[in-house]
Amino acid sequence: MSQMPAVRFLDRATPPHIFTLTLIAGLSALSMNIFLPSLPTMTTFFDAEYRLMQLSVALYLAMNAVLQVVIGPISDRYGRRPVLLWSFAIFVLATIGCLLAPTAEIFLAFRMVQAAVSAGMVLSRAVVRDMVPGAEAASMIAYVTMGMSLVPMFGPALGGLLDAGFGWQANFWLLAGLGLLVIWLIWRDLGETAIRREGGFGAQLRDYPELLTSPRFWGYSVAAMFASGTFFAYLGGAPFVGSEIYHLDPATLGMLFGAAALGYLMGNGISGRYSVRYGIDRMILAGTAVSTLGLAASFSLHLAGFAHPLVFFGFMVPLGFGNGMVLPNATAGTLSVRPQLAGSASGLGGALMIGGGAALSALSGMILSAETGAIPLLALMLTSSALSVLAILAVIRRNRRIGEA
């Protein structure tokens, strides 16, 4: 795609502006966490157990993982633009379904359909890889996700304020409105970037073995899966920790919840500036080390009796910082294994990442109780982060033997 025309904003005959890619990915992130401070309120509204409503995170992530497996190959075959338009239209309809749901079970069903918005996360990365190669892709992905990280950083805070002022439904009305805005933006600005490939969808799926037999693909994917798994465990467990253990109100919980996204913003900035200079492997290793050390410090302080909301949420800043360094670079690594399969690689790598995150999110809800405090959640997150360090060390060792990817 080196001969692609220059980018012009709101001109769909050209590749999309980075602002468009940021909003496409940002709404995918916002839909994941804006309503989390409202979970206690929603539990009361639907007259359900907290553990049932907490599944709104785990089930969403699980469906997200399933969809990412097929979204990538479909977009490789039919193009990024039509897949994005259809996915966001489905998201808007599902969001309205969440608002009209009479029971918790029906709400959860529509919440799973909302996962169609995952196309925004998958294909924003694939579009970047269509446009630029290698380490440049890591840098550009970092800048996209740096802007995107502002959304989930302020999302929980905004969600808590909307809940306090207008009820939990206000969060979903906002998502529906933003979904319509993004559909318009895709229609006006997103020019097709994928090279159409011959053959049907089955042919695209038959290309998956090229990825599945690549140790580098697995190394980068597993590093991303365990690194992001710490954050998804946080998504699943932190609302309970904040509301049931530290007794925070939704507005305060929303403000503190954004600590991880603040770190993610800073980590993305570092990736955008230094990925080309130092290479993706070094950036991933540094990011996994920062996250692991931060979680180890928080875990140690809680064991020593220094359990406090500022300790718990404050040490999520280095977690987010590390993920901000890991995820853009690990994503660029997975997309560079087979550049002609960028959509498939983005989908499959994302499915592994989100699927692992769904499992950890559900597990975090199962292991927590008011009696245990935050320690079980921190232990789970620390274990996942340490595994991400081991995964990237394995990649580095292999790359030294056979050369850089």
> Does residue 343 surpass a pLDDT of 80?
no
Helix (H) or strand (E) holding 151: helix 134-166
- Which pLDDT belongs to residue 405? 44
Sign (positive/negative) of CA torsion 16, 22, 26, 27?
negative
CB 34 within 8 A of CB 24: no
Place of tokens 């073995």: 209
CATH architecture of 18-400: Up-down Bundle (1.20)
- Residue 137's pLDDT band, with cuts at 50, 70 and 90, is low
Instruction: Tell me the pLDDT tens digit for each residue of 298-334.
Output: 999 999 988 899 999 999 999 999 998 998 888 878 8
The closest alpha carbon to 318, from 287, 283, 298, 291, belongs to 291
pLDDT digits (tens, 9 = 90+) for 374-403: 899 999 999 999 999 999 999 888 878 776
Calculate the dihedral angle through the C-alpha atoms of 160, 254, 149, 269, rounding to the nearest 10 degrees. Answer: 150
Measured CA distances, 216 to 141, 278, 335, 345, 402 (Å): 19, 18, 11, 12, 11
pLDDT in tens, 5-55: 566 777 777 777 878 888 888 888 888 888 888 888 899 899 988 778 878
User: In whole angstroms, what is the distance from residue 66 CA to residue 348 CA?
Assistant: 9
Q: Report the pLDDT value the prediction gives residue 145, as an integer from 0 to 100.
A: 65
- Who wins on pLDDT, 251 or 86? 86
Residue 1's pLDDT band (cuts 50, 70, 90): very low
Residues in Cβ contact with 396 at an 8 Å cutoff, skipping those fewer than 6 apart: 281, 285
3-state secondary structure of 368: coil
- For 89-122, the pLDDT digits (tens) are 999 999 999 999 999 999 999 999 999 998 888 7
Q: How confident is the model at residue 2 (pLDDT cuts 50, 70, 90)?
A: very low
What is the token pair recorded at 320? 């987010």
CA dihedral 32, 373, 299, 259 (to 10 degrees): 30
Residue 398 has a pLDDT of 83
What number of other Cβ atoms are within 10 A of residue 51's Cβ? 13
Q: Tell me, letter by letter, the H, E, C secondary structure of 98-126.
A: HHHCCCHHHHHHHHHHHHHHHHHHHHHHH
Other Cβ atoms less than 10 A from the Cβ of 311: the count is 14
Residue 235: predicted pLDDT: 80
Average pLDDT over the chain, rounded to an integer = 83
Per-residue pLDDT tens over the stretch 145-200: 666 656 666 777 788 889 888 999 999 999 999 999 999 999 988 877 766 655 55
Q: Which residue ranges make up each domain of the chain?
A: 18-400
* Cα 364 from Cα 300, distance rounded (Å): 19
Q: Assess whether pLDDT exceeds 80 at residue 341.
A: no
Nearest to 224 by CA among 291, 176, 276, 157: 291
403: region left, alpha or beta (phi > 0 left; psi from -120 to 50 alpha): left
Structure tokens at 154: 């302020």
